[in-house]
Amino acid sequence: MRKIQLLIFSFFLYIVTVISSDACTRVVYKGPENTIITARSMDWKSDISANLWVFPKGMERTGEVGPLSVKWTSKYGSVISSAWDIATADGMNEKGLVANILWLVESEYPKFDPKGNKKGLSISLWAQYVLDNFATVEEAVNQLKDEPFVLVSDYIPGTQKFTTLHLSISDAQGDNAIFEYINGKLVIHHDPSYVVMTNSPVFEEQLALNNYWKGIPGTIMLPGTNRAADRFVRASYYIHAIPQTEDIRMSVASVFSVIRNCSVPLGISSETEPNISSTRWRSVSDQKNLVYFFETTETPNTFWVNLKEFDLSEKGKVMKLKLDHFATYSGKANSSFEVTAPFKFLGI
């Protein structure tokens, strides 16, 4: 009887969970000797045209929303993954702070008045603003909770798809926070224990769902679909089940295995869910050693870059690693970056 009840409840969860065609997963590993590793998958229904960029500190930025754009000079250098070279989707700065942008269909942002008094920031710069300005999660939360700007979103160029995102950040001390805009209000979930995030439902409901599954041994049954709620449960179980080890090679490999487990096979299709997304790339950030690992699903190798070996000072150069045309890298790829003019963030 107990098993039947569990199966019925699981089916009910599948029905009520919002299905997102643009899906991602983010997970944080906390190991011995201050080892903190953040991994994420980027799932999208078509090629997202990612490239890797190195941005030194001292760059002048603008929020790209007109005269009321918030302006700043970057305090920290970073390595980031771009989306179509118009936005920062993912990255880590020189202090070990990691920012990840994921899709959240329930997002609703406050209205921006171009003739008002409040500064604005294009959503394409949300993650970059955090990487440029903050060294820790607590520092970011303390400033952003007062909403120093209005986050301004728009349609993805060439589509009828309005951009609805939420932001996760983690730091080298293992702290975590998730930022969501629900009904036009900023909601911040701040706690070191918030090590997993996916897409819908909103994060508060993800936590409630995970609490239910904690009562079911993961070695007995775990939900196996590609839906966001199921990926959340699997990531939550496996990130605590993998070895606690001081061997950074093993810990990175273990975290990669978790994020791959939560990925969606490339080219998968479904008659009932025609817009289901495939995993396009994965990143793993070693926040202790400042090494950023990356792999695309269309090439056979995993590669990495060491932030400590770039010049991230004000004298440093903007550099780019091209990932188009099935570019394939193996091992440390620092030397393959080329000095390039920075891309222009999408604005309104």
**C-alpha closest to that of 306 among 92, 81, 130:** 92
Tally Cβ neighbours within 10 Å of residue 216. Answer: 15
Tokens of 236: 């939550």
Tokens of 123: 């959503």
Tokens of 156: 């993805």
The answer to whether residues 232 and 196 touch, using CB atoms and an 8 Å cutoff, is yes
- Cα–Cα distance for residue pair 25/22, rounded to 1 Å: 11
Q: Strand locations in 114-231, DSSP E?
A: 120-122, 150-152, 165-170, 176-182, 185-190, 196-197
Q: For the CA atoms of the chain, what is the radius of gyration? A: 19
Among the options 24, 99, 209, 255, which is catalytic?
A: 24
Cis previous bond, 201, omega within 30: yes
Decide if 262 is catalytic.
Answer: no
- Cα–Cα distance for residue pair 251/240, rounded to 1 Å: 12
**C-alpha closest to that of 95 among 134, 61, 126:** 134
Helix (H, G, I), strand (E, B) or coil at 200: coil
**Catalytic (active-site) positions:** 24
